[in-house]
Amino acid sequence: MPFVLSDQEHQMMAFVSESDLVDLAVELDYVPEAQIDRVALLNALIPRILDLAEREGLPFSKYDADDIAELPQHHRAALANRMGWPADPSGMLKQGEKVYKRYRKRRNSQVAVMLPMLISAVARCAHEGH
């Protein structure tokens, strides 16, 4: 079954520009349709962010500490497990800050910019086994 964002998760992304979503898609090697369907595009991108997390981790900064801590424990544990990281918020933040430093050196990343808005969906996707 494909991953589907909840209504609340879609509402969080309602004010993100279409061009930023397309930039995120391109960064994740996904070619969006000519006619952008925001819902379908976001549903397709979350599993790709999870794939990226498995390959290289996620770029967290100190500003993401609350977002990580507020994740349901079982979602946070599933995401941490997929990345091979400790499941406690401080351990995830420490590992994520290392990834964030690499991101800052090599590119201006939409993943890093949008991750605070998408972290709950990415963690839920990890928990659901996508």
pLDDT digits (tens, 9 = 90+) for 16-68: 899 999 999 999 999 988 898 888 999 999 999 999 999 999 999 999 999 99
pLDDT value for 56: 94
- Residue percentage of the chain with pLDDT more than 70: 99
pLDDT value for 109: 87
Q: What is the mean pLDDT of the chain?
A: 92
Residue of 60, 66, 24 whose CA lies nearest to 43:
24
Judge residue 16's burial from the number of C-beta atoms within 10 Å of its C-beta, 0-12 exposed, 13-18 middle, 19 or more buried. Answer: middle
Residue 70's pLDDT band (cuts 50, 70, 90) = very high
Asked whether the whole model's pTM tops 0.85, one would answer: yes
Three-state secondary-structure class, residue 32: coil
The lowest-confidence range among 14-18, 73-77, 98-102 is 14-18
pLDDT value for 108: 79
Q: What is the mean pLDDT of residues 123-129?
A: 95
End-to-end CA separation in angstroms for the chain? 8
pLDDT value for 28: 95
Residue 13's pLDDT band (cuts 50, 70, 90) = confident
